[in-house]
Amino acid sequence: MILLIPDSMNIYLFWILFLALWAIVPLMIIKGRVDEEPNIQTSPKVKEKKKGWFS
């Protein structure tokens, strides 16, 4: 009986960690998507003219 307790505890620990992983990963994905903010440009970018051979 003493030998069965650590085995069952390992099984319980495995399932707790496994289910916690399945709970945390989607939350991390959703949280990461919400944190992304679109870049709003208030002024247009001015492109410099490149000086080449014929300009």
Residues 41, 47 contacting (CB under 8 angstroms): no
Look at residue 1 in the predicted model and tell me its pLDDT. Answer: 46
DSSP-derived 3-state class of residue 33 = helix
Whose tokens are 């992304």? That residue is 36
What are the tens digits of pLDDT across the range 7-41?
Answer: 667 888 889 999 999 988 888 888 776 555 667 77
Token representation of residue 52: 């080449």
User: What global pTM score does this model have?
Assistant: 0.42
